Amino acid sequence: MKNKFVEPDYLVDLVQALNRLPGIGLKSARRMVYHLLQYDIEGLEILSKALINANKNLIRCIKCNSFSCQQICQICSNPDRDNTILCIVETPSDMNVLESSKIFNGLYYVLMGKLSPLDGIGPKELNFEHLIERANTDKNILEVIIATNFTAEGETTAHYLSDILSINKNIQISRLSRGIPSGSEIEYIDSNSLAWAFIERKKTKISK
């Protein structure tokens, strides 16, 4: 009878856990695990503590819906931000891109996704109620900029949001300008183009 090498269970669990991440194939996951175990036990400790802490302590900011350690995140509680403009983005990564480009000094709302009917993701799944309530009850907000991606789903989301938010006549709804190629994702747009898209943003027209 041949002896077949079987990797220890805990090792397999770790490989499979890393393999769940986007862009990490089984091979890369295994390489990472062996690297940590062989050469960087301290790194393994740091990683495991960071994972536990993130899982235990990160919550959603009650205002912008992004990840935060407090009920209201640092951006939402910063008195130097322009609280008259609310920028809607799909993901926390998009928010980070805008933050690091220093283009925008208003407040955000993070959808944590986009409308995708084929995947069963509709307004309910994305909790649009929370966003609508935020936009309608915060009397400081004068403008909402819809900065979803320029993909088909991002555009559908933008159109839908524009429709429901424009019921409130006290708010101006804008969409990032079309200097950005169709199909683009905010995360991969250079900061110059992004800055122009903000400056040249267009008031949305509702087609009925």
What secondary structure letter does DSSP report for 121? B
- In the numeric block, which tokens belong to residue 23? 């862009």
Residue of 107, 100, 118 whose CA lies nearest to 147: 107
Among 15, 32, 36, 76, binds Zn ion (CB under 5 A): 76
Q: Which residues contact 113 (CB under 8 A, 6 or more apart)?
A: 90, 91, 121, 125, 126
Query: Could you give the count of Cα atoms lying within 13 Å of 57 in the half-sphere of its Cβ?
Result: 9
Q: What is the smallest separation between the CB atom of 60 and Zn ion, expressed in angstroms? A: 9
Among 91, 90, 60, smallest CA distance to 76 is for 60
Helix, coil or strand: residue 203: strand
From residue 161 to residue 190, what is the string marking binding to Zn ion with x (rule CB under 5 A)? ------------------------------
Binding residues with Zn ion: total (CB under 5 A): 5
Specify the 3-state DSSP secondary structure of 191.
Answer: helix
- Closest to Zn ion by CB, 60 vs 159, is 60
- For Zn ion, give the closer residue by CB, 73 or 126: 73
- Beta strand pairing status for 107-110 and 67-68? unpaired
- Helix, strand, coil in percent for the chain, rounding step 5: 45, 10, 45
Residue 73 in the binding site for Zn ion (CB under 5 A): yes
Question: In this complex, which beta carbon is closest to Zn ion, that of residue 21 or of residue 54?
Answer: 54
Which of 14, 18, 36, 64 is close enough to bind Zn ion by CB under 5 A? 64
Only one of the segments 53-61, 115-123, 141-149, 189-197 lies at the binding site for Zn ion (rule: CB under 5 A); that segment is 53-61
Q: Which of 30, 63, 134, 175 binds Zn ion (CB under 5 A)?
A: 63
In this chain, which stretch among 12-20, 74-82, 89-97, 128-136 interacts with Zn ion, using CB under 5 A? 74-82
**114 is a site residue for Zn ion (CB under 5 A):** no
Pick between residue 11 and residue 132 the one whose CB is nearest to Zn ion: 132
The closest alpha carbon to 135, from 88, 174, 181, belongs to 88
Tell me how far, at minimum, the Cβ of 48 lies from Zn ion, in Å. 28
Asked if 61 interacts with Zn ion (CB under 5 A), we say yes
Site for Zn ion, rule CB under 5 A: 61, 63-64, 73, 76
